[in-house]
Amino acid sequence: MEFLSPLITLWAVQLLAAISPGQSFVLISKLALSNPRPVALSAVMGLGLGTIIWSSAAILGVAILLETAAWAYTAFRIAGGLYLVWLAIMLWRHAAAPLELDGAKVRKLTPWRAFTLGSVTQLANPKVMVFFGSIFVALLPAHAPAWVYVAAVVIVFINEIGWYAVVALVFSSSRPRAAYIRTRMWIDRAMAGFLVLIGARLIAEG
């Protein structure tokens, strides 16, 4: 039970970050608009592979940090809290911005090409590792057992492929896509408020 609460918080924070529109969201939604569903879902699995690689690298960096500079743990928790607050501010500010989703500009792909594109898109974005490193240090207890770190990687992987699978399914159908676009601003701002609360708590605890 000692590690359940941090893992649940990690799940919630990382899921909210995944939901906020970024380059991965644009990629999957455009593929869903212009290609059959299996193609978009293949790209989702590619994103998942990139997530495993980046999150595993971040976990390794956290472990090395705690072994060599344990004094930095509190500082990184505060930095992680500040990062979440900044992410929330950016999410709030851009909540009303229109989504650029012209599927006509995306060429037809095979499932394998889509998988490769999803992997490259995730691996080419070093901000993903920065985010994972920040939330892992901020939310996971210091010197947690190995299974907690494994669980953290599994959580972020499931969040990524779960959310983007939903995106692929939603944007391949006109009515769910229109409903999401209508409510996106309020969804994003609600998520921003939650991220501010989590970030402020981490800063205060630090």
pLDDT in tens, 73-106: 677 777 777 877 887 787 788 777 666 655 445 5
Q: Report if residue 154 sits inside a domain.
A: yes
- Number of folded domains in the chain? 1
Say if 9 falls within a structural domain.
Answer: no
Flag whether pLDDT at 27 surpasses 90: no
- Give pLDDT, residue 115: 95
- Residue 2 maps to a domain: no
In a domain, 17, yes or no: no
Question: In this predicted structure, which of 14-28, 112-126, 155-169, 191-205 has the lowest mean pLDDT?
Answer: 191-205
pLDDT tens column, 51-81: 999 899 888 877 776 666 666 667 777 777 7
Look at the block and give the residue holding tokens 């989504």: 99
Would the pLDDT of 1 be above 70?
Answer: no
pLDDT over 90 percentage in the chain? 22
**Res 121 pLDDT > 80:** yes
DSSP string, the chain: -TTHHHHHHHHHHHHHHHHS--HHHHHHHHHHHHS-HHHHHHHHHHHHHHHHHHHHHHHHHHHHHHHH-TTHHHHHHHHHHHHHHHHHHHHHHTTTSPP---GGGSPP--HHHHHHHHHHHHHT-THHHHHHHHHHHHHSPTT--HHHHHHHHHHHHHHHHHHHHHHHHHHTSHHHHHHHHHHHHHHHHHHHHHHHHHHHHHHHH-
Range of the structural domain that residue 87 is part of: 23-96+107-205
pLDDT, averaged across the chain: 81
Query: Is 170 a member of any domain?
Result: yes
* Residue 13 included in any domain: no
Q: What is the average per-residue pLDDT within 152-162? A: 94
- Would residue 16 count as lying in a domain? no
**Its pTM surpasses 0.75:** yes
The residue among 7 and 67 whose pLDDT is bigger is 7
Does residue 6 register a pLDDT over 60?
Answer: yes
Q: In this prediction, what percent of the chain has a pLDDT beyond 70?
A: 85
Q: How confident is the model at residue 158 (pLDDT cuts 50, 70, 90)?
A: very high
Nearest to 137 by CA among 196, 78, 192: 78
Whether residue 10 lies inside any domain: the answer is no
Q: Which pLDDT value is given to residue 101?
A: 57
